[in-house]
A and B are shown apart, each in its own frame.
Chain A
């Protein structure tokens, strides 16, 4: 068998990124070996792209020994879905795309049900359904401990009860790089190979490894409408304009990707990776981007509403 070398001519990673990469590969292999039906959650965003790249590295020259799950809410940017299908084809991956049938039946949308309920039904419940249907005892996710304070105590193997509950007081101690993968039937773990990565690490790794991203991460003239201090993508017919709202074409990009009605764009001129990384730095120092919160987390939007944003 001819072993393909993907990194010919590419400069080696710096020791920092190399260490993070090695750790992630170790976790991938450990989970794949210890669990019966692992699966990888693939959300199409930058962290998922890094996660997938690391998985491909971990099992090379073999194929991924598990499928990918994508929870499709029906409200993703079309560019995301196109990119997903392209990636799946390129690497010969097995993809399970799941949409919550109850949510479809009840016509659950971010506009009619509020972002919190929408997110619960179309994302959280949908994910549980998909995991249960596949009887998956381990699911890889791209979460990082630096994302927010409540994640700082998350384990690399995050233990879940049969109904997928996470009890922060009842997690197993994790010492060295020895992971306890023993579970009772019905229990499962979420495994987080990127636990020790920071956002900057993610961007630097994408740059060093030339990982392809959804074009939405790069600035382009896009139609947007300003709502609650966010710039919402306005090229989908299902977005109904409120009185006084106006669609404008602006040079924007997205810092995180999710469901388009809940994801704010930032005004930007950064059309490639180097420019995005440069902008990341300047933006945080000068606060040029103002208060626009562009996270796809319903929590932040909920909070804004309760604080009287409306």
Chain B
């Protein structure tokens, strides 16, 4: 545990010069989305007819975007950046010559991305409040779910990057993952409209993949929806399961990537 702490400390120290920029972009980015999609596109949406269960479209889309943004962070940080750290950047290659183990390194790696999503989600509460969106006190828990949504992507995708590095493969699969997996998931995440609107097959794909669970849970924590306690726990369990399985896989692929 102390080793994990030192890993986070190390990562924090590396990024501290860019941390303010991260926080600012964590505000500005979602604000743009809220304005553009929430208000702009929202003006074209007949909320009553769409049966979204919220007063305004922005109330629907605002919370969902927190989880969707966390997914994007979790995915993008797990590709080139992760591969570079495993290959030529000094941070991971030298960290495993200390008492830190490769499995601990992986847990630290994924949870560090989760921590950044936590910061992002917390910062994002400001525009949410400015728009008068939150209805429930459980809103304060939403950034933690955002963090878990990020790790549900970061752990498996980083595990894949570890595999790519350990096999000495090129990174040609990375843009494909973003374009063919993450982008569609963003659109089919339930952030913008209920997934019940999708064709049945796609709806089930969305249900199996983690992002929808993050979106539903975050929304249920921030505004009044028909999400039940059990429903909420189920979403949580799915996010935990993806994170956990990703950690098991990643501990192995990082070990191979750093120690052949």
Partners in one complex: no
- B residues touching A (Cβ–Cβ < 8 Å)? none
- A residues touching B (Cβ–Cβ < 8 Å)? none
